[in-house]
Amino acid sequence: MQSLSARVERTTYGVGVSMTSNPPTTNAPSIPVSPEDDPLLRGLTDQQRVAVTTTEGPVLVLAAAGSGKTRVITRRVAMLLQMGIPAWQIMALTFTNKASGEMRERVSALLRHRPDADRVGRGLTISTFHALCARLLRRYAGLLEGQPSWIKPDYTIYDMSDQNALLKKIIKDLELASSNWAPRAVGSAISAAKNDLKDARAYAAEASDFYEKTIARIYDKYEAGLRAANAVDFDDLLLLTVRLLRESDEAREEVQQRWRYLMIDEYQDTNHVQFVLSTLIVGTDEGKPTNVCAVGDPDQSIYGWRGADISNIMDFERTYPGAVTVPLGQNFRSTAPILHCADTLIRNNQQRPHKDLFTTAEGGELPLVVHCRDERHEASVVLEYFRGLREGTTAHGTDIEELAWKDMAVFYRNNALSRVVEDELRNAGVPYVIARGTAFYQREEVKDLIAYLRVTANPADEVSLQRVINKPSRKVGKTSLTRLEMYASSRGITLFEALRDAHEIEGVSKMAAGGMTRFVSMIDEWNGAGSFMGTSVSGSLAQLVERILEDSGLEKHYVTMAAKSQREDDESKVDNLREMVSSAADFEEEFDLDNDPGMGPSVDELRAQREALARALDLDPDDIDDADLPAAASQETKKDPPLLGLLRAYLERVSLVADADQVDPQSGAVTLMTLHAAKGLEFPAVAMVGLEEGLLPSMRSFESAENQEEERRLAFVGITRAMDHLMITSARYRTMRGLRERTIPSSFLKELPEDGVLVSDQAGDDDLMRPRNRREEPEAWDDYEFDQRDPAERRAKRSQGEPSKHADGLEVGVSVRHPQFGTGTVAALSGYGVNRRARIDFDDAGAKTLILAYARLEVVG
């Protein structure tokens, strides 16, 4: 952070274009200078224009929130294409798939007027770090075959739950108590090590205390487990790609030959591995021009907990001598009051380069801060706010142009907070979408199907194999499976290979062996017995998924279950499986081989195309505009990829979806999402809920000033998403994990400009703790008189007094009323004391299990 303050003076925001002392490197771009001459420069500020036109040499764009960052990157890409740089030499790395999709769209929109619009952008690499690495590994992993702890190109990507499953198994095998060694915590320790480019050996070498030494042992086994399953975790994608580019001259040379222009978005959130990776792609030591352009904003760094390293952006100029720094300080998104609010808040961060956010826009209303009674009240306040906006009235009572639902968004610190808002919107009939794209793939039935697909693509994948070997039942029980595992490990073969010997394994029953054999031949049929697919198996991806769904008996399994239980829940499982088939079909439809660095044409092929054309036209290859390439050249490579390749690509996509990817701005619905997912987006109206101590800032951030500042940046990100209207709310009481607790308004609220927001206290608090005015609001928990017993004790106390009150006379068959779900009948009773529950079939709301201690149930009649 030392360099931070030193740098401040040089890169002041908003004071024209400031550059570093070093002059821009060699050949300045030969592009039209007058902005009016070129549609790509039209409407840009001076700074933006510099960022777009300084295409050669290292460039750092310090882009404040709402300063037109995406605009700059897309125009820059279009500019490169216009200069005749082949699309396949250009790479742009983004944070989410959605951002890359959007960028691709916007670039092609900029090129739409060209007669060759359909071809000129073909082969552009716009991707996330993780997706890029996944593809490079598919393509080049074979080059390092046989290296210790290396993977085969048909590897599987393990998500967090697969990772936890593996860790849990290892922790158990090492005979460690899972209570002391939570897979989750161990996983993040390992992840931190990987983000620091430390493998198991390096970590073990540095481990000093018992804790670290134990982690080292687990790490070692974990790595071995992943490699045995030919699997990688998210961090490995980056880590192994770094290894690939370092250890394989061929891979590195191809990569460095191919990509000559690199752009990295959200640079403040890149971690150490990503940094190293980018230098390897750029190839700083090869005498090749370092055409790298990083775009980011230190004030929006919100992934420190995931290893994001702010010094990547702070030290850019030191890494790339001669770098041009372009500050973009003018905000084009928000009204002045919203911007003032954000700016005042973020100035409370000490570790930060000074900069001014400014706008030339005038007018705009003050953001609202509303203190609510509880979370339900809070949700209703948000609903009313949105309703007003939709009808063209703000909370200030002024008339505005009516907003649509899609113009509004609710942000919260953690996913649990969405529920109440969701309920409120649903009851009011307001359409909403929750940005939780990953949730679908976490569902039991979907994970089952994915596990089948994964085993088909990579039979070594043990976690997936274990998941489905007996689902639906093939009479393969726990005992047989344990024997199988022993057999496999004693011979050093994979579980799948062991399955082939099922009948010879001691201790495996005839019945179980039969099931195992059937399982193996099924997989063999799907993937052509590893011989490999694409040659022996034909058809479309959707057909394959369909076939697997049928042959495996998985669909039948869930259909039967739904028929038996009659539960809506179970019926939707069948729908979800069908949904997977159509998503596979969609994927197949959209998949573009040319834009996939994993399967598309090689650098040599790309270059050969150019050279052939150059010869034909009697030109220097460097003078060839890619757009001149005959359509046929492009068509040629557009042959159908083999089915196996398609399956891998599909699984890869499924593994790398992010929550934010699902947001569809056209959906016509209110968007609900976490503050993290909101990064990079904007909405005319925003409501931020749950501004309370322990929530935002989060409880865990109390530990360090750094974490507190990151929380503040998170609030800053939220505020700066709002274009015209902003409401920030807190609830005085909030029920979390079944306990209603008194809260303290977020300290950040006090950091908002005194006269820059309109505060409305609707908490309706009548007890002594109510502060007389905002200024005298208590500073900390200590200023409140509150129940100091620990939560377990409070819970116990609660359980003694309340549960029986309404539960009297409650037995199966009795009619009851619930304030929210209406009337229903008791279907079952279970548990005692605090845990006494009743399953109730509500007339309208369906079946629910309620804890009597908390449910406000009333016996009817």
Partner DNA sequence: AGAGGCAATTTTTTT
Partner DNA sequence: AATTGCCTCT
- For position 482 contacting DNA by CB under 7 A, the verdict is no
Choose between 96 and 729: whose C-beta lies nearer to DNA. Answer: 96
Q: Binding marks (x or -) toward DNA, 660..679, rule CB under 7 A?
A: xx------------x-xx--
List b or e across 403-426, with b for residues whose CB sees 16 or more CB atoms inside 10 angstroms.
bebbbbbbbbbebebbebbeebbe
- For position 176 contacting DNA by CB under 7 A, the verdict is no
Q: Binding marks (x or -) toward DNA, 270..289, rule CB under 7 A?
A: --------------------
**Of 39-98, which residues contact DNA (CB under 7 A)?**
95-96
Where does residue 819 rank: exposed (0-12), middle (13-18), buried (19+ CB within 10 A)? exposed
Least Cβ distance, residue 336 to DNA (angstroms): 30
For residues 68 and 106, give the distance between their C-alpha atoms in angstroms, rounded to a whole number.
13
- For position 828 contacting DNA by CB under 7 A, the verdict is yes
- For position 182 contacting DNA by CB under 7 A, the verdict is yes
**Of 302-341, which residues contact DNA (CB under 7 A)?**
302, 305-306
Identify which range of 300-308, 309-317, 581-589, 811-819 contacts DNA by CB under 7 A: 300-308
- For position 835 contacting DNA by CB under 7 A, the verdict is yes
For residues 165 and 157, give the distance between their C-alpha atoms in angstroms, rounded to a whole number.
14
- For position 130 contacting DNA by CB under 7 A, the verdict is yes
For residues 419 and 379, give the distance between their C-alpha atoms in angstroms, rounded to a whole number.
10
Identify which range of 3-11, 30-38, 124-132, 138-146 contacts DNA by CB under 7 A: 124-132
Amino acid at 378: E
Contact 22, 323 (CB under 8 A): yes
For helices 444-457 and 568-590, give the axis angle rounded to 10 degrees.
40
- For position 180 contacting DNA by CB under 7 A, the verdict is no
Contact 44, 52 (CB under 8 A): yes
For residues 673 and 409, give the distance between their C-alpha atoms in angstroms, rounded to a whole number.
8
CA distances to 92, 129, 452, 661, 830 from 653, in Å: 18, 13, 16, 11, 43
3-class DSSP state of 529: coil
Choose between 133 and 580: whose C-beta lies nearer to DNA. Answer: 133
- For position 698 contacting DNA by CB under 7 A, the verdict is yes
Cα–Cα nearest to 452, from 412, 496, 391: 496
Question: In which element (H, E) is residue 267 found?
Answer: none
Choose between 202 and 851: whose C-beta lies nearer to DNA. Answer: 851
292, β-bridge pairs? 262
Q: Binding marks (x or -) toward DNA, 393..412, rule CB under 7 A?
A: --------------------
- For position 470 contacting DNA by CB under 7 A, the verdict is yes
- For position 681 contacting DNA by CB under 7 A, the verdict is no
- For position 99 contacting DNA by CB under 7 A, the verdict is no
Cα–Cα nearest to 296, from 281, 312, 279: 312
For residues 811 and 804, give the distance between their C-alpha atoms in angstroms, rounded to a whole number.
12
Choose between 1 and 828: whose C-beta lies nearer to DNA. Answer: 828
Residue partners of 629: CB distance under 8 A and separation at least 6: 119, 609, 610, 613
**Of 435-454, which residues contact DNA (CB under 7 A)?**
438
Amino acid at 580: M
Choose between 593 and 850: whose C-beta lies nearer to DNA. Answer: 850
- For position 639 contacting DNA by CB under 7 A, the verdict is no
Residue with tokens 């290892």: 170
Least Cβ distance, residue 69 to DNA (angstroms): 18
- Which one among 27, 147, 351, 479 touches DNA, defined by CB under 7 A? 479
- Which one among 30, 36, 401, 478 touches DNA, defined by CB under 7 A? 478
| DSSP secondary structure, 560-589, as one string | HHHHHH--HHHHHHHHHHHHHHHHHHHHHH
Contact 8, 1 (CB under 8 A): no
# residues contacting DNA (CB under 7 A): 56
Identify each DSSP E strand in 668-796 by its residue range. 670-674, 683-688, 722-736, 739-742, 758-761
- For position 502 contacting DNA by CB under 7 A, the verdict is no
Identify which range of 147-155, 373-381, 474-482, 768-776 contacts DNA by CB under 7 A: 474-482
For the annotated catalytic residues, the residue numbers are 69-70, 265-266, 300, 721
For residues 536 and 531, give the distance between their C-alpha atoms in angstroms, rounded to a whole number.
7
125, β-bridge pairs? 91
Least Cβ distance, residue 56 to DNA (angstroms): 29
- Which one among 45, 414, 517, 823 touches DNA, defined by CB under 7 A? 414
Residue with tokens 């691709």: 104
> Phi and psi at residue 334, in whole multiples of 5°?
-100, 160
673, β-bridge pairs? 411
- For position 699 contacting DNA by CB under 7 A, the verdict is yes
Tokens at 221, concatenated: 């086994």
- For position 651 contacting DNA by CB under 7 A, the verdict is no
Least Cβ distance, residue 552 to DNA (angstroms): 14
Identify which range of 82-90, 221-229, 641-649, 698-706 contacts DNA by CB under 7 A: 698-706
Least Cβ distance, residue 745 to DNA (angstroms): 17
Identify which range of 373-381, 622-630, 696-704, 759-767 contacts DNA by CB under 7 A: 696-704
Tokens at 839, concatenated: 């399953």
- For position 831 contacting DNA by CB under 7 A, the verdict is yes
Choose between 167 and 357: whose C-beta lies nearer to DNA. Answer: 167
Contact 823, 815 (CB under 8 A): yes
- Which one among 162, 659, 692, 724 touches DNA, defined by CB under 7 A? 659
**Of 514-543, which residues contact DNA (CB under 7 A)?**
none
Q: Binding marks (x or -) toward DNA, 140..169, rule CB under 7 A?
A: --------------------x-------x-
- Which one among 87, 186, 606, 658 touches DNA, defined by CB under 7 A? 658
Contact 298, 328 (CB under 8 A): no
- Which one among 492, 832, 844, 861 touches DNA, defined by CB under 7 A? 832
Cα–Cα nearest to 269, from 319, 240, 311, 316: 311
HSE-CB at 118 with a 13 A cutoff on CA atoms is 5
Q: Binding marks (x or -) toward DNA, 232..261, rule CB under 7 A?
A: --xx--------------------------
Residue partners of 723: CB distance under 8 A and separation at least 6: 333, 334, 335, 338, 682, 683, 684, 685
- For position 380 contacting DNA by CB under 7 A, the verdict is no
Q: Binding marks (x or -) toward DNA, 707..736, rule CB under 7 A?
A: x-----------------------------
Choose between 73 and 132: whose C-beta lies nearer to DNA. Answer: 132
Dihedral, CA of residue 834, residue 840, residue 845 and residue 847, to nearest 10: 100
Residues of the shown chain interacting with DNA in the complex, contacts defined by CB under 7 A: 95-96, 128-131, 160, 168, 178, 182, 184, 191, 234-235, 302, 305-306, 413-416, 419, 438, 470, 473, 475, 477-480, 512, 656-661, 674, 676-677, 698-701, 707, 737-738, 828, 830-832, 835, 850-851, 854-855
